[in-house]
Amino acid sequence: MKSIFRVFSYLRHYPGLATAQLFCAIGMTLAVFVFPNATGYVIDKIIPNPSRHGDFSYWIVIALLGFVVKDGLNSVRIFINNIFEQKVIFDIRSDLYAKIQRLPLQWFDTRRTGDIMTRVVEDVTNMERVLIDGIEQGLMAALQVIGIGIFLFYLNPTVAAWATLPVPFLAIGAWIYSSKGRDRYRNQRDAASDLNALLHDNVSGVRQIKAYAAEAVEHRRFNDFSDLLRVATLRMMKWWAIYSPGMSLLRMSGYVLVLAFGGGAVMRGELTMGDFTRFLLFLSLFYEPIDRLNSLNQMILSGRAAADRVFEILDSEEEANSREGSMLPSQIDGHVRFENVSFSYQDQPTLHGVTLDAQPGQTIALVGSTGAGKTTVLSLLARFYEASSGVVSIDGIDISTLAKSSLRDRLAYVTQEPFLFNGTVRENLQLSKRDATEAELWAALEAAHADRFVKDLPKLLDTNVGERGVKLSGGEKQRLSIARAY
């Protein structure tokens, strides 16, 4: 339950909302006592006594007011709870995204984009259900069960003991279901994540799939992953199909016990008809929240599996603080030197004792076979990865001593396969300089020989380039990437 407690730890930031919700829950619990007590009083004191029939309307109004107060407080509670829950979910999503931004590139190298998206969107939403139902149903149900349980023993301890006899068995059943359920729900979330990851890959690579006429093959792969999700979900639902009716049978046995022993008490004169009726009404209010707690148990298991996957990211080791270290001087020449640099990627040696010297103003080309480590050299210069040994320096300054933010702020990076975000030309250019003026944007475009085609776009700088720049040609995307670097 550690993950669930970590979810609820976010609630401490909003003590006012938590207090207001608790106040509403307590008020609602007290309001549910009105109707059964009014009914018992009417049956015992009003109906048998003709001289008090004039009070009948008064007690009807009291009973109605009990429901008005209960449902009025419920409306306020739902409103408060939704504000509460959305604030907490916003905090969790914000923390998760901030964490993802701080993770090293090696972490992304071993993760699928679709899986990460599933955790940020779907798994956080499942955690949200724990907050909604955990607060709404859990708090209300617990208060109602405790309050009504005490009152039942006050009415008649013997009948109350028989009425609550199934409760220990309900608790044991819930414990057995919960103890065996974690893996089932985790497998279902993992299967859903695998399916989403495949779907993301296939949508991103739809041109390649069509180019190689691989639609049928990919459809079969999709069906295979979808079938794994189906099996995992059915396995989870099979246990619920046994658990839910079993819990219902135990609850209903409580009503039978009250009918048997409560009815016997009435016939022996130990219990009035009004108290017996009150007992039956209170018993329905006693077992109804227990039923909600059983449903909540299933939601908590699902939320726990989702929370485990979310906190798995939040607990991942971060990239070294990008702001720790010294700053590059404001004026640099740009003399880059690698001295006997080696690097291994996941225990796979990639660079061996590389030494190179790039003088300011030089254009340097790295030539080598595929996999020789040309891209890795640039990744080490940007400190996307850290060299296993050797020194990489700029103007004689070891870059390992620099704050990564200071280093990367002075580097322009253009990849072989250009990447553009789904936004406007202006937004893509301003990624590297948020406060760039209109003149600076056009100057960068002109330097990259991209100004001509941008002037022909429908909305010039405010034209949307589509996902990954799909609305532009390959050359146009490359030029925009170069302009962004400028």
Q: How far apart are CA 29 and CA 51, in angstroms?
A: 33
The answer to whether the beta carbons of residues 375 and 417 sit under 8 Å apart is no
Q: 3-state DSSP helix/strand/coil percent for the chain, to nearest 5?
A: 70, 5, 20
Does 167 lie in the same domain as 282? yes
The answer to whether the beta carbons of residues 26 and 143 sit under 8 Å apart is yes
Does 232 lie in the same domain as 348? no
Does 254 lie in the same domain as 386? no
Per the DSSP assignment, residues forming a β-bridge with 369 are none
Name the nearest CA neighbour of 255 among 324, 390, 152: 152
Pair of tokens at residue 63: 């009973």
Q: What is the CA radius of gyration of the chain?
A: 33
Contacts of 324 (CB under 8 A, 6+ apart): 403
Which of 375, 408, 441 is at the close of a domain? 408
Q: Is residue 416 part of a domain?
A: no
The answer to whether the beta carbons of residues 339 and 355 sit under 8 Å apart is yes
Phi and psi, residue 268, nearest 5° = -85, -5
Greater pLDDT, 300 or 162: 162
Does 460 lie in the same domain as 385? no
Name the nearest CA neighbour of 250 among 348, 194, 172: 172
Q: How far apart are CA 461 and CA 458, in angstroms?
A: 9
Q: Has residue 73 got a pLDDT over 70?
A: yes
- Per-residue pLDDT tens for 168-191? 887 787 777 767 666 777 788 788
Residue 109 lies in domain: 2-314
Q: Is residue 59 part of a domain?
A: yes
pLDDT of res. 181: 67
Strand order in the sheet with 336-345: 348-358, 336-345, 389-394, 397-398
User: For residue 436, what is the DSSP state?
Assistant: -
pLDDT of res. 136: 65
Does 273 lie in the same domain as 130? yes
The answer to whether the beta carbons of residues 343 and 388 sit under 8 Å apart is yes
- Per-residue pLDDT tens for 431-483? 887 888 888 888 888 888 888 888 888 888 888 887 777 777 888 888 888 88
- Per-residue pLDDT tens for 21-70? 878 888 888 888 888 888 877 887 788 777 777 777 888 888 889 889 88
Collapsed DSSP state (helix, strand, coil) of residue 393: strand
CATH code of residue 366: 3.40.50.300
- CA-based end-to-end distance of the chain: 52
Count of the separate structural domains present in the chain = 3
Name the nearest CA neighbour of 35 among 57, 63, 68, 58: 63
- Per-residue pLDDT tens for 287-301? 877 777 777 776 777
pLDDT of res. 131: 64
The Cβ of residue 478 has, within 10 Å, a number of other Cβ atoms equal to 19
Q: Is residue 60 part of a domain?
A: yes
Query: DSSP per residue over 316-373, as a string?
Result: SPPPPPTT-SBPPPSS----EEEEEEEEEETTEEEEEEEEEEE-TT--------TTSS
Q: Is residue 275 part of a domain?
A: yes
Pair of tokens at residue 56: 């009948």
Q: Is residue 330 part of a domain?
A: no
Which of 357, 380, 408 is at the close of a domain? 408
CATH code of residue 246: 1.20.1560.10
- Per-residue pLDDT tens for 320-372? 655 666 777 778 888 888 888 888 877 777 888 888 888 888 888 888 887 77
Which of 280, 314, 348 is at the close of a domain? 314
Q: Is residue 192 part of a domain?
A: yes
Collapsed DSSP state (helix, strand, coil) of residue 292: helix
Pair of tokens at residue 193: 């994540």
Does 346 lie in the same domain as 227? no
Does 378 lie in the same domain as 273? no
Does 365 lie in the same domain as 221? no
Burial (CB count <10 Å: 0-12, 13-18, 19+), residue 188? buried
Does 240 lie in the same domain as 349? no
Does 475 lie in the same domain as 396? no
Q: Is residue 239 part of a domain?
A: yes
Q: Is residue 133 part of a domain?
A: yes
The one-letter amino acid at 141: A
Collapsed DSSP state (helix, strand, coil) of residue 482: helix
Does 391 lie in the same domain as 264? no
How many CA within 13 A on the CB side of residue 269?
0
Does 393 lie in the same domain as 464? no
C-alpha 430, offset from chain centre = 30
Q: Has residue 1 got a pLDDT over 60?
A: no
